[in-house]
Amino acid sequence: MSLFITFEGGEGSGKTVQARALYRRLLRLGVPAVLVHEPGGTGVGRRIARWLKWDRSMGLSPVAELLLFNASRAQLVSEVIEPALEAGKVVICDRFADSTMVYQGYGRGLDREMVGRVNNIGTGGLCPALTVLLDIPVDDGFARVAGRTRDRFEREEAAFHRRVREGYLALAAAEPGRWLVIDGRLPRGEVARMVWTRVTATLGNSGRTVSEGHAEVDRD
C-alpha cells in the first residue's frame, strides 16, 4: 500500500538529511520508495526553482511566489508523486504545501485562506499521511548553515524566519494526527530513530509492516 510522507522545517533544521536517511533505509529493506523535493523534481520544477531561489534579477511578489510554487507542485504531483503512489510506493517529499502556507502565508503575510485554496489546486487535494517537522530556533538553524551561499529566502531577515517557525508550530498544533514534531537540535541518529518509529507505525496502519530483518511484509 502506498504512503506519502513529507519533511518540513526552517533553514538548517536537518530535514533534507533525514528525508534522505529514511529513503535509504526503506530501500535497504526492499520497500519501493521515491524521494523528491520542492521546488523541483521535474524539468518544469527545476526551471521554476531557479527563478524562485536564485535569480536575483527577478523581483517576485508574494503572490507570484505562491503561484510559481504551486505550478512546480502541480507538475511534480502529476508527473511523479501520483504515479508512484498508484504503483504502491512510499513517496518522501522534502517540502510540500505546508512550506508554502508558512513561507508565503505566515512569512510574507498573504491571506492564509487564499494560500490554502491555491495550494489545494496545486496539490490536486493530495495530503500527506505523515508530516515530519524538524523544529529549530532560527538562530541555531542559521548557525548550522553559516558560510554557505544563501538563496532568496535564506537572505530574509530573522523576523521573517521566526514567523515561518511560528507558522509551522501552529499548523502542527492544529493537526496533531498528521504531524510529528521533533527537536531539530537532537543528534541525527536520535532524530532518525524517532522518525523511523513513527514511519513503521504509519506503515503498519496502512496494512504494511516492515522490520530490519525482512525486506517487506505486506498485507491485509
CB 195 within 8 A of CB 182: yes
Q: Domain limits at 85?
A: 3-218
Domains identified in the chain, total number = 1
Q: What is the pLDDT of residues 109-118, one digit of tens each?
A: 999 999 999 9
pLDDT for 54 equals 81
Q: What global pTM score does this model have?
A: 0.90
- For residue 212, the domain's CATH number is 3.40.50.300
C-alpha dihedral over 39, 175, 105, 18, to 10 degrees? -30
pLDDT for 142 equals 87
Q: What is the pLDDT of residues 198-220, one digit of tens each?
A: 999 988 776 556 655 433 333 22
Q: For residue 208, give Cα distances in angstroms to 29, 96, 98, 126, 219.
A: 13, 24, 26, 21, 6
CA distance 19 to 8: 10
Note down pLDDT in tens along the chain; length 220 residues: 799 999 999 988 999 999 999 999 999 999 999 999 999 999 999 999 998 988 777 788 999 999 999 999 999 999 999 999 999 999 999 999 999 999 999 999 999 999 999 999 999 999 999 999 999 999 998 888 777 877 778 888 999 999 999 999 999 999 999 999 999 999 999 999 999 999 999 887 765 566 554 333 332 2
CA distance 173 to 147: 33
Phi, psi torsion values for 215, nearest 5 degrees:
-65, -55
CB 33 within 8 A of CB 92: yes
